[in-house]
Structure 1
Amino acid sequence: MGGDSGLLGSISWENESTYLNAESQLTAMIMRDRNRANVIIWSMANETPSKPARNKFLGKLAAHARLLDPTRLISAALEQNNYQGNPTIKTIDDPFADVVDVLSFNQYIGWYDGLPEKCRSITWKIPQDKPVIISEFGADALAGMHGDSLTRWSEEYQEDLYKETLSMLGKIEQLRGISPWILKDFRSPRRQLPGIQDGWNRKGLYSENGGKRKPSTSSNHFMKTGNCNMKKITWGIIGCGDVTERKSGPAYQKTEGFVIGAVMRRDVAKARDYAERHLVPKYYTDADAIINDPEIDAVYIATPPDTHKFYGLKVAAAGKPCCIEKPMATNYADCIALCEAFEAKEIPLFVAYYRRSLPRFLKIKEWIDNNEIGNVRQIRWNLTKPVSEKDLPGIYNWRTDATIAPGGYFDDLACHGIDLFQFLLGAIIEVSGSGSNQLGLYTAKDSIAASWKHASGITGTGNWNFGCSEREDIVEIFGSKGKIIFSVFDEIPIQLIADSIQSLTIPHPENIQLFHVENMRHHLSGKSIHPSSGRTAASTNWVMDKILSDTDSM
């Protein structure tokens, strides 16, 4: 699951040479193992008591790990405490919990702390909005030793402890994984109970000879049923076209607690083909049928934008949460109509501006919020692309049909950046634009320029041209002490140029909407507020409308 730096509670936290030694060990481990696919988490420590020197020590170590490998999560096996002095309610109040990405702790109630039945009286109140992994739990047993469930060291005691522990852990809302301690008995010179341990740690699900113990059945059942206290939400997709093949559809299937129950497309052969390839149980050719299917809890609309309002209002009338592909609609007025419809029913409306959830852009926001470039003064975006084969006369493309997308590729692409800029820098309150059709290959605009002002006073400019000799996608954010350079669409390194130069490569997930979809799950479960709502998306449409209205008047 992860790498562990092996730090114990007897560390001399104030000693600089101790820290350098730990950093050296951590560096060696990450350099050795970072290309191993089975490593998903770097663990900083194991059950180290909290105190200021330790917190500073581990904070520096975590920052170093993120610098060496920004692609993996950080954790540590934290100590547990009683919540407000109540011994039946456990909590994590370690300051280092604010640093890690994943909370983890070792759990031995019923072995080192009372009998297995004690698990029934224990509840958990974990205030941090972070996933929880149980890094260790279990009890010792000698293979072949039998007795009742109260006979320590027997397989029956170990089995009963597993059942009680797994039932208790399943009540932790944030629980996302468990790691029994341990898979197989191993040699441990400190374990010297005659006739039982004889130099072996006996907590394995299997004996040192490979024999299976009774708890392995309970553990397997827990893992197969996914007992993590989460209700499944079944989604239906309207418009299973290109965007759903890789960018979004698989993200819904990979998100814990989400399943795709049905898809809809007017072409029955294409709907059937998509359902069969993506293992979706049902398909429809009628949008009303999928929207009103009682087995569908929520609807994702992935059709061209001129139908978003039409389908979205139907979903709102059915009282189901909805995610709409971007842009939210073809104009600001339709966006407001959608927002009001969902707000009247008090149900969530999301829009697929997934860049608000991607780690590379969250890092840029962190730089801005931490004043790494001082006070932000200006933002500038230049996006150019050569003519596409799809633009040739006689080839229909809705993205360049002025009745659907009057700004052409600007409608489809620029909204990503404009929405992202409002996420990073705040709402845009003034905007003007100009544009033309330079190529004459289609009815929509192919060249647009704009300038704007954010509520904070930051100014911005943008140029979008889809008939140039080469592709360029460069954004520069200028501050009083430096600047940030990045791309909206390309996965080039993001750069922070201030007192020094930082260049970070933070890759996108295989399915680029994954974090956006996961954030919808967090929102629907009440854990956090999704960054891309109907209202934030409507603001982006307002900016787009203002730019295009100026180009129409020219």
Structure 2
Amino acid sequence: MNTNKKIRWGIIGCGNVTEKKSGPAFNKVPNSELVAVMRRDSVKLKDYAQRHHVPLTFTNASDLIHCDQVDAVYIATPPHLHAKYAIEAMKAGKPAYVEKPMAATLEECVEMNQVSMETGVPLFVAYYRRALPGFLKVKSLIESGEIGKPMRVYVELFQHHSSEKYSEELPWRVIPEMAGAGLFYDLGSHTLDYLVYLFGPILKVGGRAENVRKLHEAEERVHGAFCFENGVEGEGRWMFDANYEDFSDKIVITCERGEIHMSTFQFTPIQIVKDGKVVETMDYPRPEHVQQNLIQTVVSALLGEGNCPSTGMSAMNTNWAMWSMVKQYYTDKK
């Protein structure tokens, strides 16, 4: 790694997630710089590099990984390629920061962590809610004991996905071979990982999944029950074929002396509820670049000036929990 106390980043897979959520943040974080991007489509690659002022471009991932001007690699491909590129990067001595979910399979997560331990090269995962102010505020509320010990958590995410979206080419998020499962892996992972951050690893899981519309092979509904290390019991319902009017995005944490109401994706105001009444409301709007705070912790960790709360070891538990909920569905399909 270079010695000028600046981390020079390369991105593999500069798609939509990198346009605003993450890409610009690599230049806005102190001691960080985006110097290279890779995409197979040379026309889209050139367009991205010009718009984001990135000097180096590659159509081959290995060329970016082994470029002497790149210190660390951000992997923003579909999940089925996370392990391949992260492992190659770590074996080349380059820290890897991968999109979520960590990988398409639990076995790939295990292999990625094993390579990280064997090489001593860090591995981070983009569960950025672990570094956002509103989500950190909820963590501090729980740890302070202000509304008593947490006992239960309920999660609900209902989204509408019309059949028109699947009338032509299927998006990778509903192709299990690429995504690991369906939209549950893409979206449900955010909530589950955040809850792991609050309550510790998930130790027990039960669940079922189904696909009613049969527009693709992936599950569209998941119902899970889980228990965390600290004894908190959880229930989650995810539905990606709901009616428009049934849209829902909520997390309800029940404590001894009240509840915390919040959302995963909508950035609605956080509410403290006691005896059925809202007694406090806290507003934490969506930041311009939602990954910036977490990227800052990654850069600090790489410079030996801090720690990142989202690593390959913490992220693997989320993959295990999700697979435990959908495993029977995919086993039955074989």
Fold equivalence (TM over 0.5): yes
Task: Give yes or no for contact 1:390–1:397 (8 Å, CA) kept in 2.
Answer: no
Identity %: 38
Task: Give yes or no for contact 2:105–2:180 (8 Å, CA) kept in 1.
Answer: no
For residues 332-368 of structure 1, give each alpha carbon's deviation from its aligned partner in whole angstroms, at most 9, with x where no partner exists.
Answer: 1110100111121112111000000000000000110
Task: Give yes or no for contact 1:358–1:515 (8 Å, CA) kept in 2.
Answer: yes
2:188 to 411, 414, 420: 414
> Considering only CA atoms, is the larger Rg found in Structure 1 or Structure 2?
1
Q: Do the aligned partners of residues 406 and 308 (structure 1) sit closer, same or farther apart at CA in structure 2, a change above 3 Å counting?
A: closer
Q: Tell me the SS of whatever aligns to 1:243.
A: helix
For residues 115 and 162 of structure 2, the distance between their equivalents in structure 1, rounded to whole angstroms, comes to 38
Q: For the aligned residues, what is the CA RMSD?
A: 1.5
**1:527 Cα deviation from its structure 2 partner:** 2.1
For residues 147 and 274 of structure 2, the distance between their equivalents in structure 1, rounded to whole angstroms, comes to 6
Corresponding residue of 2:257: 481
For residues 388 and 301 of structure 1, the distance between their equivalents in structure 2, rounded to whole angstroms, comes to 29
**1:266 Cα deviation from its structure 2 partner:** 0.6
Corresponding residue of 1:326: 100
Gaps of 5+ in 2: none
Amino acid at match of 2:119: K
User: Where do 4+ consecutive residues of structure 1 move more than 3 Å?
Assistant: 388-391
Corresponding residue of 1:468: 242
1:528 to 306, 313, 334: 306
**1:313 Cα deviation from its structure 2 partner:** 1.1
For residues 102 and 176 of structure 2, the distance between their equivalents in structure 1, rounded to whole angstroms, comes to 17
Q: Tell me the SS of whatever aligns to 1:391.
A: helix
Corresponding residue of 1:81: none
**1:406 Cα deviation from its structure 2 partner:** 5.0
Amino acid at match of 2:24: P
Corresponding residue of 2:175: 401
**1:331 Cα deviation from its structure 2 partner:** 1.3
For residues 53 and 205 of structure 2, the distance between their equivalents in structure 1, rounded to whole angstroms, comes to 46
Corresponding residue of 1:540: 318
For residues 318 and 342 of structure 1, the distance between their equivalents in structure 2, rounded to whole angstroms, comes to 11
For residues 162 and 280 of structure 2, the distance between their equivalents in structure 1, rounded to whole angstroms, comes to 35
1:497 to 266, 273, 297: 273
**1:232 Cα deviation from its structure 2 partner:** 1.3
Q: Tell me the SS of whatever aligns to 1:404.
A: helix
Mapping 1:11-50, distance limit 5 Å: none
* Match status 1:447 vs 2:221: yes
Give TM-score scaled by structure 2 length. Answer: 0.94
For residues 104 and 86 of structure 2, the distance between their equivalents in structure 1, rounded to whole angstroms, comes to 13
**1:388 Cα deviation from its structure 2 partner:** 3.8
Q: Tell me the SS of whatever aligns to 1:249.
A: coil
Corresponding residue of 1:260: 34
Task: Give yes or no for contact 1:372–1:498 (8 Å, CA) kept in 2.
Answer: no
Mapping 1:1-80, distance limit 5 Å: none
For residues 115 and 320 of structure 2, the distance between their equivalents in structure 1, rounded to whole angstroms, comes to 18
For residues 368-415 of structure 1, give each alpha carbon's deviation from its aligned partner in whole angstroms, at most 9, with x where no partner exists.
Answer: 001122111100001101124663322320001122235311010000
Gaps of 5+ in 1: 1-228
For residues 182 and 263 of structure 2, the distance between their equivalents in structure 1, rounded to whole angstroms, comes to 20
Aligned length: 326
Larger RCO, structure (CA 8 Å, separation 6 or more): 2
Q: Do the aligned partners of residues 364 and 390 (structure 1) sit closer, same or farther apart at CA in structure 2, a change above 3 Å counting?
A: farther
Q: Do the aligned partners of residues 451 and 397 (structure 1) sit closer, same or farther apart at CA in structure 2, a change above 3 Å counting?
A: same
Give TM-score scaled by structure 1 length. Answer: 0.57
For residues 175-234 of structure 1, give each alpha carbon's deviation from its aligned partner in whole angstroms, at most 9, with x where no partner exists.
Answer: xxxxxxxxxxxxxxxxxxxxxxxxxxxxxxxxxxxxxxxxxxxxxxxxxxxxxx961111
**1:243 Cα deviation from its structure 2 partner:** 0.4
Mapping 1:161-240, distance limit 5 Å: 231-240=5-14
